[in-house]
Amino acid sequence: MAYDEELAEGVRELIQTEDGLSEVRAFGGLAFLIDGNMAVSASGQGGLMVRVNPAETEALLAEPHVRPFEMRGRRMKGWLRVDIEGLQSERQLESWVARGVAYARSLPPKR
């Protein structure tokens, strides 16, 4: 499954003025990086993949339409999937993108 180009464009519109922004195809989708750290990705499996503070993972899983990101059957703390149903309004998308950007900014830049 290809990533949702409309979702990617919505993310791009919200994030385009961020310093250190780059876009990279990753995880079957289109990832948006801040200073080399992934913030969010329009996922090839649908919806949005969001990088968050690992300490907040469990609490954020209580949000509607949010599920854990799994790699090879293993839950990855600090990574979430937000189904497209949880991204229907600009406010919802903006909230998740802002979370991802804030966490990416908290990390040391990758060069």
Residue 69 — φ and ψ, nearest 5°?
Answer: -85, 130
Q: Give CA 12 to chain center in angstroms.
A: 12
User: Average pLDDT for residues 101-105, to the nearest whole number?
Assistant: 98
Nearest of 102, 57, 107 to residue 82 by alpha carbon:
57
Nearest of 52, 58, 56, 28 to residue 38 by alpha carbon:
52
User: Average pLDDT for residues 92-110, to the nearest whole number?
Assistant: 97
Tokens of 44: 């090839």
pLDDT digits (tens, 9 = 90+) for 3-62: 899 999 999 999 999 999 999 998 789 999 999 999 999 998 899 999 999 999 999 999
Residue 63 above 80 pLDDT? Answer: yes
Q: Is pTM, for the whole model, over 0.85?
A: yes
